[in-house]
Structure 1
């Protein structure tokens, strides 16, 4: 697909139309996102029929979406429905009406499909090889367990944030007794899944309830990075946030920054499910996946199976390379020089860079000073901002920040300026290592200053007066010699060894 495509997600609480466009890297990029709080779950009667009012709400909302899709040149529109329509006794009639009145072919997802699509989005956009996913909708809750990035178990509970409120809560917010009833109910339901008990794995949350919880947490912590995808919360933070939300009146909930006003009444039941799941599984952390069912539908349609963790990260870097027109021939030369220097310093026991750190350095070399695409003069600032604040599938937030600090390295002063808001994230030793790696990257780039692949080989020897870099060149290298001499001083301070350069 080179053009635009769309998906309509008919949930129990909200209906949403999302239009995507293929960007030059091949990634699906949102260009329109329209939400309607239809709360179809409230229109299911005691016999599980969607009432006439509910059907009218569905048709009028889809008709409004139709007017939007008609204004775009779309190659494909997928229309999927989840728990409320699936559970409706008159679902076949509803399907026919939707086709007749709006022209949309509405696909009613099975419990398995709804769980599978969420899992598929997670394993294609996160680094986890094993974990538990949860997607709390308005009328159902899907939980999966995957190992080695393969789906092992799944279950769909016929309750969600909206149906819990409808079943247990008489007013806007639950009373103390109603909260106890909800908690007992949730615990009894989750306890029935033997395969989640004491798993001690990350819980990956999908969907609006998880997203809103993370947004509240970020606001309360004055979180310094942009982006929700792969945001991580320790279990104790989730518990404290649940207690805080539990203490608020409806007026205060509706004004709570980070929480959509239309979710105020539903937030507490949803958070009680998250809290109980974390407790039962003894989860190591709660992580948000910004990608969920909608993305999973497209991954399957593109016949994209569950990716390897390395493939997820490779795909993200391919996007960066295409989006910022990174010269990969130059990157290959600089990476070769960098790894050569690392190996030499390891051999001399000046450094002890392990395989994981070598990979991290290689990634940083790929995007080093990529902000020059925007403005060469302020390349460092743009590089740091872009990498620190852009979602990079496969990298957790701290890993993304490490990448940004290395790839934007200019000098000690600028490094400290970038790192200062994140002092609590790193030890002094970690910051020193990141600064050293940044300086090594900059030195390696100086040895390809004219982008002519002048340097053939770098060897390092330990001399009485310090480290001697033997740099073999294949042609005139005045520019490289000048730039390397300028960068040498940064490197020798961090390595705590005098450095001498010998070009030949």
Structure 2
């Protein structure tokens, strides 16, 4: 796979492009994301499924712009897939041939099951949950991929997209007909005879738009959609408010953006019907979908479309891009584990916090690379957004705060109040901040000293046994604020 790869997805409602850059064998990062709501399927369901000239021209012009961006970013590989609108249209070859002739690009029209599979691959690798069903509501169809214990069980596509429903039912105000049509299609899910999880991973513009509004209404502290979770029971009334909105002014008052007025009611209606019929209790929003799935299918083709165990693409990508010296990174991670377990009789924290401590210790120097002064604050802002994939929101907020309060006074309740909803108790945060501070100070001269951390519970003393004690390390350890009363000494 080339270092810079472009993935283009032509959907019924929108054309989307991501440009991804590899930094090492399995690590990558996003360098461009572009969307164009070309509505290529507009008018087709009222014309025997045939694509209409004006929507095709919009898609053609957008493709030209997408390829210009891709070329400017020195992309060596372009993969373009098309979904429901083109696979359903009897005249799709007209558009496909024109793109091939004018741009030299072969568009691969994928079937619904493959489209669902790609969404499952993206969610399985880039979200932190093990078992769920992805639901990708598009303009022409809705895809479902069932994932259990990080394995794809089944993929299926149903013809219940927003544009299709709008043209066949909503434009005629036939809501009962729309509901009956959706429920009739959903019977195919139950005929699969597989276990249906009670967690949905929502993919696609309609679900993401709804999730974004819910985040804002709930004054959620983190402005990141990927990985955002909510309980269906808490938001059912709001979903019904969107569905029953009388006009665009009502939609606007609910927080719906102008570019979603045309299909948000249909999308929410489809979504709410699926939630009810499949008895879903929780929704996880995914910022990754078909495009990322296509990319991962190529990147991970020799490993069963899964990242290696204990591999995190976000951490690896940051280590690569910021050129953090591998020996220093490895040392900081190992030392973090030693400190955590030496102090465990005191802090009594769950072992999951050890993992967070290791990651924070490896990544703390990112702030200095961005700008040496205020490096902790720089790292805090970057980490909140930089740990893009396979991290719970709580995890990335904890790691960012650990780094922010390293090598300085430990956090107070006031310091963490903005993100309190996503953080553990202040005592936990003070212990974590102390342990990363101790780790950083122990290697302040970057000599990677051999240190034994010895806790004497009888004397309430943590001893650091160094082969070669230095004044720099010793004097800075003495300045550390402790999370509770105990003795800290350097031997």
Could you tell me the TM-score, scaled by structure 2's length?
0.88
Q: Which residue of 1 aligns with 2:417?
A: 420
Are positions 1:433 and 2:435 aligned together?
Answer: no
Please show how residues 307-318 of structure 1 align to structure 2 within 5 Å.
Answer: 307-308=306-307, 310-311=309-310, 314-318=312-316
Residue of structure 2 equivalent to 1:339 = 337
CA 1:101/1:367 → structure 2, altered by over 3 Å: closer, same or farther? closer
> Which residue in the other structure is 1:217 paired with?
214
Contact 1:338–1:441, Cα closer than 8 Å, also in 2: yes
Q: Rate the CA distance shift 1:242–1:399 in 2: closer, same or farther, 3 A.
A: same
Q: Note closer, same or farther for the CA distance 1:341–1:311 as it changes in structure 2 (3 Å cut).
A: closer
Structure-2 change in CA distance of 1:392 and 1:38 (3 Å): closer
Structure 1 position 42 matched with structure 2 position 43: yes
1:348-497 mapped onto 2 (5 Å cutoff): 349-368=345-364, 370-410=366-406, 411-412=408-409, 414=411, 416-426=413-423, 430-463=425-458, 466-487=459-480, 490-491=481-482, 494-495=483-484, 497=485
Question: Hey, which bits of structure 1, 4+ residues long, moved more than 6 A?
Answer: none
Distance 1:216 1:145 in 2: 26
Alignment partner of 1:275 out of 272, 277, 280: 272
Provide the C-alpha distance between the structure 2 equivalents of 1:67 and 1:479, rounded to a whole number of angstroms.
53
Give the gaps of 5 or more residues in structure 1: none
Quick one: structure 1 residues 84 and 357, their matched pair in 2 at CA, closer, same or farther if it must change by over 3 Å?
same
Does the 8 Å contact 2:126/2:288 carry over to 1?
yes
8 Å CA contact retained: 2:3, 2:22: yes
For residues 192 and 137 of structure 1, what CA distance do their matches in structure 2 show? 18
Per mean C-alpha deviation after superposition, the further-off stretch among 316-325 and 179-188 is 179-188
1:196·1:281 contact (CA, 8 Å) conserved in 2? Answer: no
In 2, the alpha carbon distance for the partners of 1:374 and 1:236 equals: 43
Of 92-101 and 282-291, the range deviating more from structure 2: 92-101
**How far apart are the structure 1 equivalents of 2:488 and 2:73?**
62
CA distance in 1, matches of 2:109, 2:13: 16
The count of aligned residue pairs is: 486
SS at match of 1:222: coil
* Aligned counterparts, 1:290-329, within 5 A: 290-304=287-301, 305-308=304-307, 310-311=309-310, 314-329=312-327
- Matched-pair contact (CA < 8 Å) for 2:450–2:467: yes
Once residues 348 and 330 of structure 2 are traced to their aligned partners in structure 1, the CA distance between those partners, rounded to angstroms, is 23
Are positions 1:7 and 2:4 aligned together? Answer: no
Corresponding residue number in structure 2 for 1:226: 223
Deviations 1:128-185 (A, max 9, x none): 22210011110011011012322211111112011111111127xx5xxx44443343
CA spacing shift, 1:161–1:418, aligned 2, 3 Å: farther
C-alpha distance in structure 2 between counterparts of 1:328 and 1:65, whole Å: 36
C-alpha displacement of 1:439:
0.9
